[in-house]
Structure 1
Amino acid sequence: MNILKTTIAATLLLAGAASFAQEAAAPAAAKPAAAPQPWTYKTKQLSRAEIDKLLLQPGKVLVLDVRRPDELPSKGSFPVFLSIQNADLEKYLKYIPKDRQIVTVSNRAHRAGAAGDLLTLRGFKVAGAAGTLDYEEQGGVVEHIKPPAPPAAAPAPAVAQAQ
């Protein structure tokens, strides 16, 4: 009887380990994606069609990108934008024109939503918030900025040979 119990316990243990190994080896794409964060901002989250319509009015719209500069090459942005990081927004409000509608931009629009709420409180006209990744997923095209090439190394100075 003890041999039977030991055999059953070992079989269950091995089956559990095999199941765990298969789950760990499964590609990330097979696992369900994380649920998107709920929209908690007063600023409207813009669709691709709404963004495209606003971008057709360049003299009336300002695109304000609130991400860190290192995010722009990999995540892309709209062709023309003002870049002020979310953390510095309050400090640079005087540089943002109040006579234009503002589209705030981040990767998934959440930082942009927070920036839009702040700007609205300060008297700016905010059209809405956009996420470049969301915009691309809806078929839009953003510019992917290539970082500048590193400066070429200066040639080594020639050394005179003594004769």
Structure 2
Amino acid sequence: MVQLFVKWCCKVRLERHNFQEGKMLPLIWFLLAIAVGVLASKRGRSGFGWFVIALLLSPLIGFVFVLIAKDLSTSAGAVNAAPTGSTHVRCPACAEWVLPEASVCKHCGGALAPDADFYVVRAKIAEASKKEDNSNLAIGVGAIVAVIVLANVVSKCTG
């Protein structure tokens, strides 16, 4: 199976239809760097910053690191995030969102009782976030191993 893959890689490398002398490589590199920037932006990261990293280092490296990095677009600390049930509680008097640590509502001045369920839900969200981080790490390690194996196959093809 591996030998067939190596032969196929060698055949593709020798044919090089539209990629003669690497004329298309800079364009593909640039487009993949843009894709990394877009992905990073969708995950709550700086799209331009990740575009530059991908452009200078490698789009593959940038892609792997964006996948490994925590998704800030859905986390409680997202920039300009609106209050939600996972970050705030509702005041029983005026139904406005307030921080769970507050003892008095900032909107109506009503007294607030601590909500024990809120902290249970917050703990479950933190556990899910930790599982996602572990999953992203596994994806990153798998991608790095795949790149190493592919580089080994290509080196056997050229050498």
What TM-score range do you get, normalising by the shorter chain? under 0.3
Structure that is richer in helix per residue? 2
- State TM-score, norm by structure 1: 0.21
**Structure with greater Cα Rg:** 1
Structure that is richer in strand per residue? 1
- State TM-score, norm by structure 2: 0.21
